[in-house]
Amino acid sequence: MDFQSIALPTELRHQLLLAGANINSILIYTNKNVKKGGSFFTFFDLCNMNLIIDAGNTLVKMAVFKGRDIVYDQKIPLKDFAKNVRSIFSEFRSIQYAMLSTVGALSQAEIDMVSVFCGVHVLSHATKIPFKNSYATPQTLGVDRIALAAAAFYYNPNGNTLVIDAGSCVTYDLINDYGEYLGGAISPGVAMRYKALHTQTAKLPFLEQEEIADFIGNTTETSIHSGVVNGICNEIDGVISQYQSRFTDLTVILTGGDEQFLSKRLKNTIFAHSNFLLLGLNHLLEYNKR
């Protein structure tokens, strides 16, 4: 995979120069410039840093990796992206590469801004991956699910791993002990369930998630909370049990925005990992440097 420069519009270049970007000192790397090493992270990689960007519809997660370790991470509103990019590169001058995963929320100008400072790879279905992808329609597989599959592949390379990402949607993704991605499932997330009950009915109120005292709701509001919270927890536990019946020694990873809220309510043994997707993106960036 080639990391290449992007010709920037004159106005954007002018704005970046005013912001302090040194365009003449941009470092652009291609495959032939990166030495292949026997280990996953070469000595060169350990001396430099990667910027990982996961852009959702309203929020952007940004992390700086030094080798395998996260030395900085932050979640920011989408509108503050440009300001934070400049700040990160000002603080971490050893960043040489960036991996960007976006659902389409970032504009091309914002992506171009990152390329002023370092080599950029935008994750897509065409990105080189370390595992076998047996998804029937790989061109439709979401970039977040690709990153989670990569994280699972490296986290448990010789075992069966189910990754559950509890965000806007709940996604289930399975990597088997042969390093093969099989697919999974997609269902509504916690917030989406609350919203659907309100928007798809005439009188049910819109509620925010909260703790429930009992699974039997004795008011409309507590009934909604019970239905949403117990419903999604029973769904997740049920799906885990389905996978356990087919795949031996299954490792289950729970991640995503609702990971903390849900993890203590599940009956099955799971490993909660808030930065699992970021780890997967960093693994993919390293893999594509080769």
61 labelled ligand-binding: yes
Tokens of 45: 């990689």
Q: Give me the count of residues in the chain.
A: 290
Closest CA to 118 of 100, 97, 101: 97
Instruction: Report d(CA 169, CA 148) in Å as an integer.
Output: 14
60 labelled ligand-binding: yes
145 labelled ligand-binding: yes
Instruction: Report d(CA 105, CA 173) in Å as an integer.
Output: 23
Phi (first) and psi of residue 217, to 5 degrees: -80, 130
12 labelled ligand-binding: no
Query: Collapsing DSSP states into helix, strand and coil, what is residue 159?
Result: coil
56 labelled ligand-binding: yes
181 labelled ligand-binding: no
135 labelled ligand-binding: yes
Instruction: Report d(CA 262, CA 166) in Å as an integer.
Output: 8
In angstroms, how far is CA 15 from the centroid of its own chain?
30
Instruction: Report d(CA 78, CA 59) in Å as an integer.
Output: 5
163 labelled ligand-binding: no
Please pick, among 112, 144, 173, 258, the residue that the annotation labels catalytic: 144
Q: Tell me, what DSSP letter sits at residue 17? A: H
Instruction: Report d(CA 68, CA 23) in Å as an integer.
Output: 28
168 labelled ligand-binding: yes
144 labelled ligand-binding: yes
The answer to whether residue 144 is catalytic is yes
165 labelled ligand-binding: yes
Instruction: Report d(CA 241, CA 244) in Å as an integer.
Output: 5
55 labelled ligand-binding: yes
Report yes or no: 233 and 262 within 8 Å, Cβ to Cβ.
yes
Largest CA distance in the chain: 67
Q: Tell me, what DSSP letter sits at residue 25? A: G
Known binding-site residues for K(+) equal 165
Known binding-site residues for ATP equal 54-61, 168
Known binding-site residues for substrate equal 135, 142-145, 220
Q: Which residues are catalytic?
A: 144
Known binding-site residues equal 54-61, 135, 142-145, 165, 168, 220
